[in-house]
Structure 1
Amino acid sequence: MDLDLAQVRAFVRAAEELHFGRAAESLAISQQALSKRIARLELLLGTRLFQRGGTGVRLTDAGQRFLPPARRALTAGEAAVVAATGEDRPLRVDVWGHLYAPMRTLAGVAGRAGPMAPGHGRDLPSVTAALLNGDIDAAFGRVHPPLHAGLTHRVVRLEPVDAVLGAGHPLAAEPVLRPDQLSAGVLWAPGALDRLDFLRRFAERFAVRVTATSVNLGLAHFLGEVAADPRRFSLVPADVPLPDVPGLRSVPLVDPTPLYAWSLVWRTGNENPGLSRLTAACAEQAGRSRWLEYDPTRDWLPEPPANGGGSADGGGSA
């Protein structure tokens, strides 16, 4: 039995979208062409992969069993083309959480990871879809549950977080702050907290009762809004280069120090050699720069590592 990878790709995309119209659009083909490819695949396999009905499209039991190896087949097909042509194309890497400048971490390892083609920045749901669709090879940002079962991730950096506030804030002159000292302030967020998991978890953990949402127009605009109101504060990873905003103060947080966990994410089964180089370069830099140090008596993570201390392992979800 010879599988047609175009038919397999049509199935995988439809299984991820559970909508033939959206799947066809993402493949730049007509819905009729997509339906024909899936019908031919079902005929070849001798079983139905989708249950179609008035309530929409869903996978049959056979379709659910077929999906993981179908994804692996597409990955192997791409690897075979690369091996035959000898072309080591750039690794396509996107980021999310761009207000916190994730590219600065990738830039530190890019020279050792081989050619990379960076993306423009998305949110985590968009990155998840792009990874599953094969539009990108890897992504970098903060992972929080639930992560799609078809993806793998590895924590590569735990970065201390500072409080940012205006010079008129009552705590602006303090050399360091405890997170609970901020509970009476207004946590200023660059979007809805249900989409900003780290800030939401911080507010819950340290009893910040008042939060307010801004429009994300970039870091300089956002921090200018923080500095303009003496009640406001926000959180920024300590190594993020801050723009020159008049009256802005950055104060380290201690007892505990919040840590922002950066993870590399890729589609399970992706064997692109550039991905192996990138993960190895991240691990090497993490060891050299002590990126993964975590002490539960000193630090706070929304989802601490399963081993409870020492350093964060690669399988944690933070």
Structure 2
Amino acid sequence: MDLDLAQVRAFVLTAQELHFGRAAATLSISQQALSKRIARLESGLGAELFHRGGHGVRLTEAGRRFLDPARRALAAAERAVAAVRDERRPLRVDVWGHLYAPMRTLAQVAAHAPEPAMELGHGRDLPAVAAALLRGDVDAAFGRVHPPLPEGLTHRLVRLEPVDVILGADHPLAGEAALRPGHLAESVLWTPGALDRLDFLHRFAERFGVRAHAEGPNLGAEHFLAGLSGDVRRFALMPADVPLPRIPGIRSVPLVDPTPLYAWSLLWRGDGGRRTGAGHPFLDTLLEAFAAEAGRARWLEYDPARDWLPGPDS
């Protein structure tokens, strides 16, 4: 049979999400249209690819066998298209983790790259950016990578950034010159969204015994940090290099013994044995620029006796 790539892409995204609604939203089509594409694919293959029932969506054995070749077929099609595109187009890079200002690091690297032709976009979170990479909508992405990461993607650690605690002036610990993370156990972690969806903050709270948390919407750093005033016990965590908005009465205090580190990575489509997969020719240049800047600015220094990384990062 001649494979219809739209049907194959619908299958791959549904296999990744194991949810028809989320896969349809990623493709910007209705759930009914997605179901029809997969049904036509199953009809052509003569096999069911998904179990559909009250316990959710699961791959059948045929679906599991088809998934990896299907991903390779999509990647080959994307390489064919890329071969005739204008190679001078900008490298499309999505970022996520916007409260922690990933553009700071990208701007610093781009300033030293020989050909910093980048077109920057904003992804909602890691799953959304990963889906965009697998579809070929973007060439690379930048943010904190944590499991589970879909197959077909590769990432490289490029920066470990110390994290400070941000306190309001009335917090009992606001006068300290430095704090250990354990000192925050009786305080309230203020988060930009649900804690279980914020991997780094969730792991920090578990590791250092922070039992109480409160959450507000992520409407930018100024709005978020102004929310510290809602409870004198609240604290927030921010990378040390993030410029703080001018909000009266907040201060940044270094965390020590250990110092939490936020891990930034560059993420792209391809397997571990191939640097750029079907990627843009500037991707190698960007990787080299990150390596050079990491060496110059000592971005990858890590001492487990002095620093703390969440389990997956370390």
TM class by shorter chain equals: 0.7 to 0.9
- Residue 200 of structure 1 corresponds to 202
Q: Which of 299, 302, 305 is matched with 1:297 structurally?
A: 305
Q: Offset of 1:296 from its aligned partner?
A: 0.6
TM-score, structure 1 normalization: 0.82
Q: Sort the Cα spacing of 1:57 and 1:86 in 2 relative to 1 into closer, same or farther, 3 A.
A: same
Superposition map of 1:113-192 within 5 A: 114-192=116-194
Q: 1:284 aligns with which of 270, 292, 309?
A: 292
Residue in structure 2 matched with residue 93 of structure 1 by the alignment: 93
Aligned partner of 1:246 in structure 2 is 248
Query: One-letter code of the match for 2:279?
Result: N
* Aligned CA-pair RMSD: 2.9
The 2-side partners of 1:149 and 1:131 are apart by 11
What SS does the aligned partner of 1:119 have?
strand
Deviations 1:235-266 (A, max 9, x none): 11000011111111111111111111112222
**1:93–1:186: structure 2 CA closer, same or farther, 3 Å change rule?**
same
- SS of the aligned residue for 2:206 comes to helix
Q: Residue 38 of structure 1: CA displacement?
A: 5.1
Q: Which amino acid aligns with 2:47?
A: R
Q: Would the alpha carbon gap of residues 68 and 249 (structure 1) be closer, same or farther in structure 2, given more than 3 Å must change?
A: same
Instruction: After superposing the two structures, state which structure 1 stretch, 255-264 or 144-153, moved more.
Output: 144-153
Q: Which runs of 5+ in 1 are unaligned?
A: 304-315
* Deviation per residue, 1:60-100 (Å, 9 max, x gap): 32332222232222222222222224434323222222111
What are the superposed Cα offsets for residues 256-287 of structure 1, whole Å, 9 maximum, x if unpaired? 11111112222335321333333222222212
> Identity rate of aligned residues, in percent?
69
Q: After the TM superposition, which of the residue ranges 282-291 and 153-162 deviates more from structure 2?
A: 282-291
How many residues of Structure 1 are paired with residues of Structure 2 in the alignment? 305
203 and 80 in structure 1: CA distance in 2 versus 1, 3 angstrom threshold: same
CA-CA distance at 1:136 after TM superposition = 2.6
Q: Show the 5 A alignment for 1:214-253.
A: 214-227=216-229, 229-253=231-255
Corresponding position of 1:78: 78
Shift of 1:300: 0.7
2:108 corresponds to 1:108? yes
| Closer, same or farther: CA 12–145 of 1 in aligned 2, 3 Å | closer
Distance 1:78 1:171, change over 3 A: same
Q: CA, structure 1 residues 282+4, in 2 after alignment: closer, same or farther (shift >3 Å)?
A: same
Residue pair 1:42, 1:48 contacting (<8 A) in 2 also: yes
